């Protein structure tokens, strides 16, 4: 009888484990999901405020836009990043389509040099606020949000809670079209 109880307990544990793993349809395990919840970019977490300067030297805080009622996309990029430049037309199109409906975009550049950064902003026609401390990968934005690859982004709801991360291409459009029905 004890052997049967033991087998039943093992089977029950196996089913419970499979059930937990099945909840993560995107391939994540429960351990990975738990680790992600510790990330400053975890879905549901409130944004972390930081201050950086625009090209003209004026310092801004994310809190000037985040948590003020509108959705905000914080876009981490650099002028020297090929994938960032390839993704930018999608971000520009999203801005043009949804800005009048309330979408704000804040660019956070990982550039080290001001001239290439400003040239890219102009060439790629990015009309939104652009911030940089010109420290590249040592940027305050990279440190605060633990960004180790770009392009990267964080979408915040009107209350400043993270609702999505790393939306690219069709994913960005699909998410914003649901928000701004």
User: What string of H, E and C letters represents the secondary structure of the chain?
Assistant: CHHHHHHHHHHHHHHHHHHHHHCCCCCCCHHHHHHHCCCCCCCCCECCCCEEECCCCCEEEHHHCCCCCCCEEEEEECCCCHHHHHHHHHHHHHHHHHHHHCCEEEEEECCCCHHHHHHHHHHCCCCCEEECCCCHHHCHHHHHCCCCCCCEEEEECCCCEEEEECCCHHHHHHHHHHHCC
Of 152 and 26, the one with more pLDDT: 152
> For residue 6, what pLDDT band results from cuts at 50, 70 and 90?
low
Over residues 21-33, mean pLDDT:
42
For 154, the enclosing helix (H) or strand (E) is strand 152-156
Q: For position 5, what pLDDT does the model report?
A: 55
| pTM of the shown model | 0.79
């Amino acid at each position: 009888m004890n052997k049967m109880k033991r087998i039943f307990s093992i089977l029950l544990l196996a089913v419970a484990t499979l059930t937990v793993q099945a909840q993560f349809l995107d391939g994540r395990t429960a351990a990975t999901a738990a680790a992600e919840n510790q990330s400053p970019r975890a879905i549901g977490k409130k944004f972390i405020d930081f201050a950086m300067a625009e090209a003209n030297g004026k310092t801004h805080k994310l809190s000037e836009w985040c948590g003020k009622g509108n959705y905000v996309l914080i876009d981490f990029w650099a002028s020297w990043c090929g994938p960032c430049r390839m993704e930018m037309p999608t971000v520009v199109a999203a801005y043009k389509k949804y800005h009048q409906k309330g979408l704000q975009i804040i660019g956070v550049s990982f550039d080290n040099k001001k001239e290439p950064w400003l040239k890219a902003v102009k060439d790629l026609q990015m009309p939104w606020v652009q911030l940089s401390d010109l420290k590249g990968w040592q940027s305050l934005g990279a440190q605060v949000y633990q960004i180790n690859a770009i392009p990267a982004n964080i979408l915040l709801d009107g209350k400043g809670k993270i609702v999505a991360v790393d939306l690219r291409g069709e994913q960005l459009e699909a998410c914003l079209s649901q928000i701004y029905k």
